Every structure is written in structure tokens, then in C-alpha cells.
A and B are shown apart, each in its own frame.
Chain A
Amino acid sequence: MSATNVSILDGNTFVVSDPCGDIDPSPTDPTGLFSWDTRFLSQWVLTIDGDRLSSLSTDELQYFQARFFLVAGTGTVYVDAKLSAIRTRSVGDGFHEELTLINHAEEPVDLRVRLDAAADFADLFEVKDALAKQGVYRTRVEDGRLVLGYERGTFRRETAIATSQPAELDERGLGFAVHIEPKAEWAVELDVTTTLVAAGERLSRPKHGRGSRRARPNMAQDLDEWVADAPQLECDWDALKLTYRRSLVDLAALRFSPISARGRSLPAAGLPWFMTMFGRDSILTSLQALPFTSELAATTLRELAARQGARVDDFRDEDPGRIPHELRYGELTAFEERPHSPYYGTADATSLFVVLLDEYERWTGDRKLVRDLEYEARAALRWIDDYADLQENGYVSYRRRNERTGLENQCWKDSWDSISYHDGRLPGFPRATCELQGYAYDAKVRGARLARLVWKDEPLAERLEAAAADLKRRFNRDFWVADGEYFALALDADGAQVDSLASNVGHLLWSGIVDRTKAKAIAARLMEPRMFSGWGVRTLAEGEGRFNPIGYHVGTVWPFDNSFIAWGLRRYGFRAEAARIAAGILEAAEFFGGRLPEAFGGYRRELTRYPVEYPTACSPQAWSTGTPLLLLRTMLGLEPLDDHLIVDPALPTRIGRLELLDIPGRWGRIDAFGRGRVDIDAQPRARQKRGAMRREHSVAT
């Protein structure tokens, strides 16, 4: 996707255009109007008297709204421009566009205004892989609207284009004969609406409860309420305030409401390829956001639970109890050419589901949801033991059963070469990556708490605790690479260690599976120059066979990864190390205007001085958007304890003071304050001497 493209979005509906607001047909680029994983408009080009316009400027007013300032003519010098055009576009159920033409001349003008429109109805996967269509196109002019349609048997999708003034409609677009007086203007409103048709009924519901032909619901008010409801951040670092605001707004933009969710929303994973519900991404983003909003977690839990696996289905890699990986709505899913209805090939989401359910209860005290989802949580815990232990060695591992369209790597590092030995070789399958064991351990520990507290099942709690203790003991023995003092990235099909040093060890701290005696070594590994770039911890350490600072999962820095690593460091008492990561990632955010990308280059900070964006990174991406939120939680040391919120700040000196006001939870609303007292540049020994490691004041008001 070109860096100059303009994207506006709301949930799984988004529009990607060029800086003029035009959409040119492209079989391979995600430009167009997309909704429900389908491209409902692949061409949308404005011409005046047959000529395209030139862009003066573009304002991305809100995440759902952009304004394009244009002039007639395509030259580089605009001295003769007597006509300007303003297009204001808002995404909703499709999009709404206001086109205004202004005649700056002393004479009246007569113009032919034309919008060429076409829809290829490509499945997002077809755009990604440039596949051909199998159905037929049916375009018609009807009731003053242009209707673009696609049919393959009973599968139907339609795009309708309506105008506020009469237009000349034909199968390739719409036109207006326009007369404008001197110093006057002319305007038209265009509504592009999308429809999924099922057995004679519309499938998608109008967003925000509006069913009119206008594609613009009242989103500005909704966004204001969303931001106003979140805790307020006050601090002396303006860039952090900007990043926080950006995170809240992007999180609002990424909210996605599945058809079954009755208007409630959960985080979609990211623009442009991942605007749907993902097990892992939706859970981790909900976890990051919990201190700021619990709504996303509640919807994520309910929607994933409703789709929990119930049978053994090899095409979908489904097992009873398994939490889905990815849900799609496009043509390839409809015709079972892709398994995303939903697809279950994830080895971590099932454990993380239990983790989120427990963390949600700790923050909100909402035991009703824990009771409602008792069956699903128990089934998830059973899946870990009954279906995930493919090697029967007591560890969670993965191997896809759908070998055609299933996922090879079913952990968060899901690219083909992400899991490798120190010498660069790739292990066979099944693979038991280390962080999966941490998540499973945490799920058992937290499941035990819920069993005791809510389900009143003491025997289950005891069984889970015993299993967790046993897993921890075996893990610290079998995964420990003694001569390097870290945990192996994975165990291979023979149960031997995949001996690379990777960021996955940081997640182990978050899960609590690391023996106290080994934690210091892990913290040291994470902060060594081969891992810590100065901005953050790399996905794979320098010196490993496949290390590449711009390799997707083999050397780049992922902000979300770092947020969980920092949380893990705090859990084991490494306050300065956590603060150092938080400062590095938040400083990197400044270079991206407060919007952290999915990943950036793993070059040493002193080499580039700025974080180098990964070429095809997805942005905004949900768990990058959630990263500043979790870093704030980590720096302030926010931990719920019954009906209280513990505040135990460990802020880098980069931040003078920080206040997070009105943190919602079972306590009502609480304020947290902290001062920057952790000198992150000091060497560990010097730091201890100066006493910067001491605990600061605790506030729990």
C-alpha cells in the first residue's frame, strides 16, 4: 500500500484512496471501499470535463473522515486554476461523500462532472493473492440509483450509489451537467451503501442503529463519548499525551461489531488486512486496554466463547474447546475455499481466553460473565490437556491438520521462518514454543482462582494448581538452555531444544512460569545489546542464524511484544528494566506521530537515531494501539487487589510527573499519580547505589 494513500475506517468498513480521493482499479493493492472482507468499490474516479484533478492538500479530520482539496488540471503549476473542488468523505455503512465545486472566475462555467464507479467484489484474500472471480456481475440503474451487483449462486453482494440531486446514470458511473455562476459554488452528496444478501434478507445491520440510505451515522458524538469515558492523562511530556489520545482514537476506530454482538464491539486486529475478530489479537488488545475500558474484553470473551470449537474438523483445525483464530465474511470463506468460518489454527488463544476472563474479573468484579462462560472456560482448560498436547509430553504444541490453507506457525510469530535453531535451521512439527507453555501455566493458575471463587469447585481448583506447579517444574528443567542462561524458543518434534534466544522469553515473565532463581538471568538477557535495540527488545537476538533487523519476526521490534515483556519484568520486580522498555517504545511513538506501527526495524538506536518503520507494517494495528495503554499500566504499577487498586509507580526520569485520573474498575473510579525517579540510563550497580530501585510511594485513593 502506498504511503501516500489515505485511509478512513470504522470497524471492518474502510476506504483507501489516493490523495485526490480517487480509487483506481488494482487487482493486488487494497485500494477501494471494503466491508465484511469484500471490496464493494474498486473504482471511484472524479473528472471534470474529462480531466482528473490535482491534490492541493488532504485533511484526515477523524479516523472515519477525510477532506480532499483539489483543483482542476493536472499540471504542477496552478496559476490558472479557476475551479476548486472539495470532497469530504465519511465512512459508515459504506461511505458518504460531499462534493463541492467552487468557481473562482468572473464568468459562469458549464461543466461535465463525472464519477466513474465499478466494483470487483474481490474477497480481501483475493486482493492479497490476486485470484480470479467465479461469479457474474450484474449492474443496473434503478430508482435513481446505480446498483453494482455480484452473484455466485445464492451468494450476493451489492453496492448502491445514490445522489442528492438527479444524475445521469449509466453502468460505468454517474455524471452531472453543472452550471455555476461567477464566485459561486455547486454541491452534491453521494451515498455509497453496501449490502450482504442472504436468503432474501440483508445480513449486515446498519451501524449505530440507522437504516437510512445515508451512509453517515453520528460517529463524531460516539467518539467524543468514548474518549471522555476513558481515564484522563496529565503529564509533563506532551508527546505522551498525544500518543495516549492517538491510542484511544485508534482503538475506537478499530472497534468491530460482529453481526451476533448486537452493537457491542471488540477490537479488530488491524488495517488493512486484518479488520476482523482474531482470537489472539482481540484478546491481547483487550488485556492491554482493561484499565481503560472493560467493554472490549467483555465482548471479546462473549463472541469468542460463542464460536468456541465443538467438534474435530480438520479443514478448520477445530477441536472441542479451542478458541477461534480468525473469522472472515468474504466469498472464499463462504464457499469453503478458505477455512475462516471461523478458523481455529491458534495454539495460544485458548489459554489466553482463560487469562483474559480472570483478568477481566479482577478489574471489573463482573462474576456474572465468569458464571455465564463457565462451560467455555472449563472446555478451554480441557483443550490444553486433551488436544494441545500433540506429543504427549505435557507441553502445548501445534501442527496444522489443514495442510493446504491452514497456518504453519500457530503462535503469535506466525511467519514461515519465525521459529529457528541458533544455526538458522527450521525445526519440524509439532513445535512447542516456550510462550505457549507460559500461557498454559497462567491459564491453569487463573482457572483455579475462578474455579474456587466463582464456580465453587474446589477439586478442580486443586487439580489445576497441581498441574500448573508440575508444568512449571518441568518447563524450568526442559526448556532451560544452561550454557546461555535463557529459555529455548521451543521444543522440536523430538523434544529437543530449539536453542535460539528470542523475545518469547519476555512473555514467560508475564505468565509467571519462570522460577525466581532464573528470572534475573532472563531480565539480563532481555536488556543485553543483542536483544535491546535502544528502542525495545528485538523479536530475535542479534547473532542468531536468521537474525535480520528488518525480518518480520526475526529481528524487528514489535511494540506490543515489548508491552507484555515490560509487564513481565514488573511482575518479577525489575522496575528499572520495565521503565527502560516503556521509555524506549514511547519515545519511538513520537516519531510515528503517536501511532505505533505493527513493527519497526531492529537496528541499534545509536545507528539510525530514529525507528525505521517495517516496510509493509499494518497500521493502525490493534495491539500496537494498545501498547501505550499497557505501558502506562506497567509504569504506574496498577494491580487490582480485591476491591482496591494498587498503585506502585516506577516511572523513567524522562517523565517528571504523571497522573492517570478516573481509572474505572470494581472500586468505581480511582486516580493514580507518579513521579519519574527511575534513572534508566544508569548502570545496574550505580543505580542500586543511588537508591533509584527503591519502592516509591503507593497511592490507592
Chain B
Amino acid sequence: MPPGTPLATLPPSASAVSRGPERDRMSAHVEFFERIGKQGFDPRLGHVRGSVRFDVESNAHAEHWRVVLDHGAIQVSDDTADADCVIRLDVATLDRLVTGEANPTSALLRGLIGGHGDIDLMLHFQRLFPAGRPAPVENAPAGREEAP
């Protein structure tokens, strides 16, 4: 096998599958994308500009979420157009990411997320994911809350 050949089966390519009319409307990631789309702006994305597309494997289908970031402005669509950063993952991983259950960097290292393009965009985008799991801790300092 020549070097660089993918070692695992790639998720089905975007063009080969229909996108999501049957997708689960109750899924956590659907809520997440709808929420950030509706919100339309987040200052934590400061100077960031570019597009991120999530190619989501879900049973026999593929879903696509394309997010355009422009200096804090956020636009969400289910467009399959090319993007500066493309992230591939399955629906369970995505649901865990958007609820803060999974950490994007760990998931990437674990092989749960693949992708190509400008990974820097994904690093910024993940600021929109909520807090991670709590640590085994006693006497956590009081008076902390998440910034808006």
C-alpha cells in the first residue's frame, strides 16, 4: 500500500448520498446548529473569517452543515458547497461535541473526527461548544460562570 493511502474506510462521499430530509429533528446537533444560526453572532469568533462544513455520517445518510464565519457573524445552511475546512464525523460524535460531552481535540486525536483544510477555523469554531465534563474536584471556587 503506498504511503498516505487512507487506512480506514472513508465516510461515504458527499455527492453520493442525499442530504437530510429524514434527519432526526430532535438530535442535539440539529438544535445546536439551529441555535447558533438563529443567534447569528458571537463575539468569541472575533476576527475569524471562513467556512466550515460538517459532513456527518448517520446510518445510511450523510448530512451536511455549512457554517460561514465572518468577524463574529454566523450563517448556517445545509449547503454541500466547498468549504475552507471540512470536518467528517459520525452523528454520535457530533452530538457529544455540541453538548460538551466530548472534547474536539481529544476526539480528533482519537480518530473520531477527520477532516482537511484550515484546522485553525475549527479551533475557533469549537469556542461555541459548551463546557466539558467536570473534573473530580473538591472545593471548587465559587462565583464562576460562563461568559455569554
Contacts and interface: CB of A to CB of B under 8 A. Distances in A.
A221 interface: no
Contacts of A201: 6, 10, 88, 114-116
A259 B9 CA distance: 23
A371 B4 CA distance: 38
Contacts of A75: none
B111 interface: yes
A197 B106 contact: no
A445 to B, nearest CB: 23
A156 B130 CA distance: 28
B141 interface: yes
A390 to B, nearest CB: 5
Interface stretch (A305-313, A418-426, A658-666, A671-679): A305-313
Interface string B37-60: 000000110110000000000000
A203 B138 CA distance: 37
Contacts of A587: none
A387 B143 CA distance: 9
Interface string A113-152: 0000000000000000000000000000011000000000
Nearest to B7: A197
Contact of A199 (B8, B133, B146): B8
A311 B146 contact: yes
A329 B124 contact: no
B109 A200 contact: no
Interface in B1-48: 1-4, 6-11, 43-44, 46-47
Contacts of A315: 132-135
A160 B5 CA distance: 12
A342 B141 CA distance: 21
Nearest to A334: B109
A311 B114 contact: no
Nearest to A341: B105
A333 B106 contact: yes
Interface of B is mostly: loop
Given A260-B120, A402-B137, A334 B3 contact: no
A59 B144 CA distance: 56
A320 B47 contact: no
A182 to B, nearest CB: 38
A299 to B, nearest CB: 11
A197 B111 contact: yes
B137 to A, nearest CB: 5
B110 A153 contact: yes
Contact of B131 (A195, A311, A335): A311
B47 A198 contact: no
A375 B47 contact: yes
Given A311-B130, A311-B131, A198 B136 contact: no
Given A307-B123, A372-B47, A199 B114 contact: yes
A198 B113 contact: yes
A202 B5 CA distance: 8
Nearest to B71: A375
A385 interface: no
Interface in A359-416: 371-376, 379, 387, 390, 399, 401-404, 406
B109 A319 contact: no
Nearest to B133: A315
Contacts of A406: 135
Interface string A285-325: 00000000000000000000011001111111111110000
A362 to B, nearest CB: 21
A156 B111 contact: yes
B141 A390 contact: yes
A200 B123 contact: no
B81 interface: no
19 contacts: A143-B2, A153-B111, A156-B111, A198-B115, A199-B113, A259-B119, A262-B118, A306-B120, A310-B147, A311-B100, A311-B146, A313-B133, A316-B103, A330-B109, A341-B103, A373-B47, A374-B46, A375-B46, A403-B136
Given A197-B8, A200-B88, 19 more contacts: A196-B109, A197-B111, A198-B113, A199-B112, A200-B8, A201-B116, A213-B3, A314-B137, A316-B135, A334-B106, A335-B106, A336-B106, A341-B109, A342-B105, A374-B46, A376-B46, A401-B135, A402-B137, A404-B135
Interface of A: 142-143, 153-156, 158, 160, 193, 195-203, 211-213, 259-262, 306-307, 310-321, 327, 329-331, 333-336, 339, 341-342, 371-376, 379, 387, 390, 399, 401-404, 406
